[in-house]
Amino acid sequence: MDNAIVKLRGYKDGLHLIINPKVSLNEVETAIHELLSEMNQSLSGTSIQIDMMTTPLTSDDLKELETHLTKSYDLVVSGVNVLDEKDESPILAAPTTHSISQELSLDTPTHVENAQVVRQTIRSGQTTACLTGSIILYGDVNPGGEVIASGDIVVLGALRGSAHAGANGSLSSVIIAMDLVPLQLQIGTYVNRPPLVQKPRGYPEIARVGAEGIIIVEEFIKF
């Protein structure tokens, strides 16, 4: 997702907000508002890094921008990286291969051969983990419960707690649930904290890492 002024990109070290250096602070804040308004999910609580080349923004402008991102969007600014134009930023110059395709490849491993089947509900304070493959859970994950897998996570019930797929760093892993209303989702290093008040949509959903390096949730039909 991007416009002419700001771009949001996910890399192995997290989420980066890349800013065009030839604009004013007001233009940057307006562009950020437009960008985040177009997204179908909240980034509340997400840590981001700001990247820009030599900029007309002053140090006070940058502090104001950090405050704006924190107060208006509940984003956690991990740092501001300002480079001279003669320098090459490893992030700004990074190829698009850092992004994950929104289409699941037919030859993408799903770790089914190492799947662990769990026939119980995960209650508050309980954690179930499989660090050698996927988890298929016949039950619910209650608030305060947690499921961790190096592969995929499939919940044949309601996921109301936390789920971490791709715990070994795999960004091709997915999380599927009949009712997906989690407290937190994590795939690899990417984290999604949905709004606190959610209602089941009445159909299975799948969470995966999209092309912008953001966890997206959509109706699950089939692989």
Q: Where are the beta strands (DSSP E) in the chain?
A: 6-11, 14-19, 47-53, 76-83, 116-118, 127-130, 135-137, 146-149, 153-159, 162-165, 175-180, 184-187, 190-192, 205-209, 215-219
Q: Does domain 112-219 have CATH number 2.160.20.70?
A: yes
- 97: helix, strand or coil: helix
Q: Identify the CATH assignment for 6-98 out of 3.90.1150.10, 3.30.750.50, 3.40.50.300, 3.40.47.10.
A: 3.30.750.50
Phi, psi of 44 (to 5 degrees): -55, 130
* Spatial separation of the C-alpha atoms in residues 130 and 117, rounded to whole Å: 10
Each domain of the chain, given as residue ranges in start order, spans 6-98, 112-219
Q: Which of 5, 34, 27 is nearest to 18 (CA)?
A: 5
pLDDT of residue 123: 94
Residue in the structure block whose two tokens are 């990074």: 94
Q: Is the full-model pTM beyond 0.75?
A: no
In degrees, to the nearest 5, what angle opens at C-alpha 96 toward C-alphas 105 and 188? 60
Tens digits of pLDDT across the chain (223 residues): 446 788 877 655 567 788 876 778 888 889 888 888 876 566 777 778 787 766 667 778 888 888 899 898 888 887 777 655 544 443 333 333 333 333 333 334 444 457 889 999 999 999 999 888 899 999 999 999 999 999 999 999 999 999 999 988 888 999 999 999 998 999 998 888 766 556 667 889 999 888 667 888 888 876 5
Q: Tell me whether the CATH fold assigned to 6-98 matches the one assigned to 112-219.
A: no
Q: CB neighbours (10 Å) of residue 72?
A: 12
What pLDDT does residue 1 have? 46
CA 15/CA 2 separation, integer angstroms: 13
Structure tokens at 27: 């233009």
Q: How far apart are CA 125 and CA 112, in angstroms?
A: 27
CA distance 181 to 137: 16
Nearest in space to 111 (alpha carbons), one of 196, 30, 58, 175: 175
